[in-house]
Amino acid sequence: MANFSRLLELDRDCVWHPYSSVGADSPIYLVKSAHGVHIKLFDGSELIDGMSSWWSAIHGYNHQGMNQALSSQLQDMSHVMFGGLTHQPAIDLADQLIQLTPESLKTVFFSDSGSVAVEVALKMAVQYWHSKNQSDKQKILTIRHAYHGDTFGAMSVSDPENGMHHLFSKIITKQLFADAPSCKFDQPCSESDITSLKLQLINHHQNIAAIILEPIVQGAGGMHIYSPAYLKRVRELCDQYDVLLILDEIATGFGRTGKMFACEHASVEPDIMCVGKALTGGYMTLAATLTTRQIAQTIKEGEPGIFMHGPTFMANPLACVAGISSLKLLLGSPWEKRVNLIETTLKEGLEPCLAYSPVKDVRVLGAIGVVELNNPVDINKIQPLFVEAGVWIRPFNNLIYIMPPYIINKDDLDALIHSIIRVISTI
């Protein structure tokens, strides 16, 4: 127990956690191991994981097949630089991604994280227009309530007012923003939904390199779920005004919304796509930016003839093997049936939340369940209540949401749902 206390003391004194501070008073829990959909804490208690480790561990934890694949790769090499060298794991994973993603996407740029994948996409769009002698097209257009990451380019296209980055407003590149659509998933897209974005294109298309969107589901910016018809209209407007379309599928990709990629709900193909999170099943940090052959060739033919980006750990072999193994597991599983069952259970189970006065809205799509409250939650108060209930749910702002591993059984999913209802009843 002394070791347990000492570890937590060191953590509190020395370690930064996401969106926290050193020495913060917020509760922190020491994890010893994780198996399946259960996280075992150092004190011996177990939690049902409702977060998939921020939406990445879709197969759960400690999967024997993935463990074996990474162990085997370790015998050959854990890493080798990607400049001037290549290796089979990167080639095989790129080939799988090209086969799995929309037909127009034919080239793959690997990076370390989702934020960097977004940075790459933005640079790719700007360099594409530079290669076409249209260097005035440097701006990016997006919609409010977006979240694309924490690096500077990604921050610049996240919500400028209600997002998490207003502190840096004077140093962030000023981009163009349109109102987010109000049309819900099962509704048509009215002209009023698209007007704000359309006006930005009419007035500034000569300076806009690309539109970037989280397709169908806006993640950490508020978990808004909008109509596929809106995404269709955006694609049409991009074509009309000669602007590239970047889709950030980092949170929505690999089955989370009930389709392999969320853009499939609208039958839309982007010019550039970002993927990450579930790409490796939560085992390793890896992301990718995919684009068309035409964009890649244009960049090659322009000045300076190369794409100006190259991370040190680009296409790390261990991470690529994790990606190959995760995709093999996903495609070999009844993932669509599992996600549909999660969706049905979440819709039925979370609907009673609407009867509680603190609740503003309940929305579900695929393996995403969201309870929106009227006011922000007190994380220091609400987090221990979930842990006491034997579940791991991490609310933020005014949202209590779950995105569980696809392998979760009904009993564990019901336990997550019931814990949400119990906690809401105490607010």
> Residues with catalytic annotation?
19, 147, 248, 277
Question: Could you count the other beta carbons within 10 Å of the beta carbon of residue 378?
Answer: 10
Other Cβ atoms within 10 Å of 278 Cβ, number: 29
What one-letter code names the amino acid at 402? I
Write the DSSP symbol of residue 184.
B
DSSP 40-93: EETTS-EEEESSHHHHT-TT-BS-HHHHHHHHHHHTT-S----SS---HHHHHH
Q: How far is CA 256 from CA 269, 319, 366, 376, in A?
A: 18, 21, 6, 25
List the beta bridge partners of residue 245. 211
Neighbours of 398 (CB within 10 A): 15
Residue 46: partners with Cβ closer than 8 Å, 6 or more residues away: 38, 39, 40, 390
Q: What does the alpha-carbon distance between residue 417 and residue 389 come to, in Å, rounded to a whole number?
A: 11
Are the C-beta atoms of residues 115 and 149 closer than 8 Å to each other? yes
Q: Are 139 and 176 in contact (CB under 8 A)?
A: yes
Residue 236's nearest CA partner among 203, 197, 264, 273 is: 197
282: left (phi over 0), alpha (psi -120 to 50) or beta: left
> By the 8 A CB rule, do 263 and 102 touch?
yes
Let me know: does 281 contact 335? Beta carbons within 8 Å: no
The tokens of 185 are what?
């998933």
Q: How many CB atoms lie within 10 A of CB 81?
A: 11
Which tokens is 129 given? 């227009």
Q: Find the length of the chain.
A: 427
